[in-house]
Chain A
Amino acid sequence: MRPLSFLALAVSLSLPLAVEAAPPLVLAVGGEPETGFDPIMGWGRYGNPLFQATLLRRAADLSLAGDLATGWSLSDDRLTWTVTLRDDARFSDGTPLTAEDVAFTFNAARDGDGLTDLKVLKEARATGPLTVELELRHPQITFTGDLATLGIVPKASYGPDYARHPVGAGPFRLVEWREGEQLIVAPNPYWYGPDIPFPRVTFVFGAEAAGLALARTGAAQIVAVPPAEADAAPEGMQVLHVPSVDNRGVMFPMRPAGGRTAEGAPIGNDVTADRAIRVAVDQAVDRTALLALAVNGHGAPAHGPADGLPWDNPEDRLTETGPDAARATLAAAGWTDADGDGLREKDGLEAEFRLVYPASDSVRQALALGVAEALKPVGIRAIPDGRSWDEIGRLMHSEPVVFGWGSHDPSEVFNLYDSGFAGRGWYNPGFYENPAVDAHLAAAEAAETFEASLPEWRAAQWDGTTGFGAKGDAAWAWLINIDHSYWVSDCLDLGPIQTEPHGHGWPITQGLPGWRWTCE
Chain B
Amino acid sequence: MIAALTLASPVRRDLLIRGGLALGLVAVLLLAALALPPEGPPVSALSRNLGPSLAHPFGTDSLGRDMALRTALALATSIKVGLFAAVLSTAVAVVFGLAAASHRLADRLVGVATELALGLPHFVLILLIAYAAGGGMAGVILGVGLTHWPRLTRVLRLEAQTVAASDYVAVSRGLGRGPVWIARHHLAPHLLPQIVAGFVLIFPHAVLHEAGLSFVGLGIPPHLPSIGVILADSLRALMAGHWWVAVFPGTGLMLVALTVERFGEALRRAADPTEGVA
Contact = CB atoms under 8 A, between A and B. Distances in A.
Tell me whether A and B are bound partners: yes
Interface of A: 209, 212, 226, 228-229, 232, 286, 288-290, 292-293, 359-360, 362, 365-366, 368-370, 373, 376, 384-386
B45 A386 contact: no
Contacts of B39: 384
A401 B250 CA distance: 33
Contacts of A226: 236
A373 B236 contact: no
Contact of A386 (B42, B43, B222): B222
Contacts of B221: 359, 385-386
Interface of B: 39, 42-46, 48, 62-64, 217, 221-223, 233, 236, 239-240
27 contacts: A209-B239, A212-B239, A226-B236, A228-B62, A228-B236, A229-B240, A232-B240, A286-B45, A288-B45, A289-B45, A292-B45, A292-B48, A293-B45, A293-B48, A293-B63, A359-B221, A362-B233, A365-B222, A365-B223, A366-B43, A366-B62, A369-B223, A370-B43, A384-B223, A385-B221, A386-B221, A386-B222
A373 B239 CA distance: 28
A376 B42 CA distance: 10
B278 to A, nearest CB: 46
Contacts of B239: 209, 212, 229
Contacts of B240: 228-229, 232
Nearest to B220: A386
Contacts of A360: 217
Contacts, number: 50
B138 to A, nearest CB: 14
Contacts of A370: 43, 45, 63
The B interface is mostly helix, strand or loop, or mixed, namely loop
A155 B233 CA distance: 49
Given A229-B239, A369-B43, 18 more contacts: A226-B236, A228-B62, A228-B240, A229-B236, A290-B45, A292-B45, A293-B48, A359-B221, A359-B222, A362-B222, A362-B233, A369-B63, A370-B43, A370-B45, A373-B42, A376-B42, A384-B223, A386-B222
A296 to B, nearest CB: 8
Contacts of B233: 362
A388 to B, nearest CB: 8
Nearest to A226: B236
A306 B45 CA distance: 26
A183 to B, nearest CB: 26
Contacts of B223: 365, 368-369, 384, 386
Nearest to A370: B43
B217 A366 contact: no
A369 B233 CA distance: 15
Contacts of A212: 239
- Nearest 5 pairs between A and B by C-beta? A289-B45, A386-B221, A292-B45, A369-B43, A293-B45
Nearest to A369: B43
A84 B31 CA distance: 77
Contacts of B62: 228, 366
A257 B47 CA distance: 39
Contacts of B45: 286, 288-290, 292-293, 370
A39 B42 CA distance: 46
A403 to B, nearest CB: 17
